[in-house]
Amino acid sequence: MKTLLPHQLDIVRDDKEKVGLWLGTGVGKTLIALSLARGKTLVIAPKTQKEDKNWEKELGEAGIALDLTVISKETFRRDWEKLPAYETLILDEADQCLGATPNVRYVRRQPVPKTSQIFEAVRSYITRHKPKRIYLATATITRTPMCVWAAAIVLGYSWDWYKFRDVFYVKLPMPGREVWVPRKDRETKERLANLIKKIGYVGRLEDYSDVPDQTYKTIFVDTTTRQDVRIQQLELEYPDPIALIGKIHQVENGVLSGNEYMSPEMLPCAKNDKLEDLMIEFPRMVVFAKYTMQIHEIEKIATKLNKTVFVLDGGTKNRGEMIKTAQSCDDYVFICQAQVSAGWELPDCPVMVFASMTYSAADRIQAEGRIQRQKNIKKNLYIDLVVRGGVDEAVYDCIVDKKDFNEMVYARKLYPNS
């Protein structure tokens, strides 16, 4: 039976019936939520966590008697009207269920906030069945300000959507388009942080445990001649600057422009040379990469070095067994699609390499937590491979500053007259 740590015990003793668990990766949100739950409990989780039975395993290890049902958010979105009432509702990786935007859609010619189907399903279920306890668990509630608004609505607060948007967003002067971006000034950020604390608990692993300083290293590389030639061609092929930015980022990471899921051709890429050196230097590492063909190329490099190779992407089955096998190996490369940055862990691995990342700061925060866990706190090495002077560096600058990379904003900076 698991013993609650002091910070976990403090939250459980408060015994709040509806609250957000905005705690960092590795802090133990799952155990806290299970300890707070009462009676029949429904957990809405990402599909992979549901298939891995993470909640059932945690419940068994904790020794808590609870009538637990776990369904995927896709199933909930489709079947919520058929579900019975539950006393406790838990949203795992809750930010994925809190889809709300600063834009409007029109219903019977009237503007209404544009929200996701899963958010509307959650709100409708709560209105119908009125669960007594609601817990939202995520380390990345700040994915967008509107995610915070949606969380407050689910927890029972009455925050006006229009007033919230006016405070936390600014409308860009884009002819023919309505583009809202979050305000970046310090006062607005502090105001949002205070709201987050009002509706939930916040805290990082280092706030509760003695975490040694982590080592961060950035390796800058240049594009090859073939990459430069291809990028010049792209500028003629893609007049829309936003589409162009995405294509350039692909080429910078060695993926031939076009359908990167189908193209068998990779361009020479200095990142791959550096990756090979790192694989030789470090016996165990996790590598994150955004593009499917890039992942395949990294797999080839690791295989050539006779490494044990594991690949985790959105289609991976039985990933629990894969991770268990990896933990038993002394020499491996664990390659993960950058979008799959939550819901798994390799706490014994000491090195993480970011070959490329998504445009989401939340994905980066989640990724780092895969190898830093409460059960095995240690000093880790995090390495970024970055193409100098292009889109890749612009993405890197945003993400390490804990900001999302916004293609629209970057396009306006590069092409102000477009």
Instruction: Please give the Cα distance from 225 to 385 (Å, whole number).
Output: 19
Which pLDDT does position 113 carry in this prediction?
Answer: 93
175 & 239 share domain: no
Q: What is the CATH number of the domain that holds 276?
A: 3.40.50.300
1 found inside a domain: no
Centroid of chain to Cα 77: 20
251 & 365 share domain: yes
Q: Which DSSP letter does residue 157 get?
A: -
10 & 66 share domain: yes
Give the residue from 151, 178, 208 where a domain finishes: 208
Q: Give this prediction's pTM.
A: 0.82
284 & 389 share domain: yes
Which pLDDT does position 261 carry in this prediction?
Answer: 47
What percentage of residues in the chain have a pLDDT greater than 70? 97
How many residues in the chain? Answer: 418
Q: What is the CATH number of the domain that holds 190?
A: 3.40.50.10810
Asked whether the predicted pLDDT for residue 318 surpasses 90, the reply is: no
Q: What's the whole-number mean pLDDT along residues 42-64? A: 91
Which pLDDT does position 297 carry in this prediction?
Answer: 93
Instruction: Please give the Cα distance from 183 to 19 (Å, whole number).
Output: 26
pLDDT digits (tens, 9 = 90+) for 267-305: 788 999 999 999 999 999 999 999 999 999 999 999 999
Count of the separate structural domains present in the chain: 2
CA atoms within 13 A on the CB side of 238: 18
94 & 70 share domain: yes
Domain ranges, residue 296 = 215-414
Instruction: Please give the Cα distance from 335 to 16 (Å, whole number).
Output: 39
Which pLDDT does position 257 carry in this prediction?
Answer: 59
Q: What's the whole-number mean pLDDT along residues 88-92? A: 98
Tell me phi and psi for residue 211, to 5 degrees. -100, 120
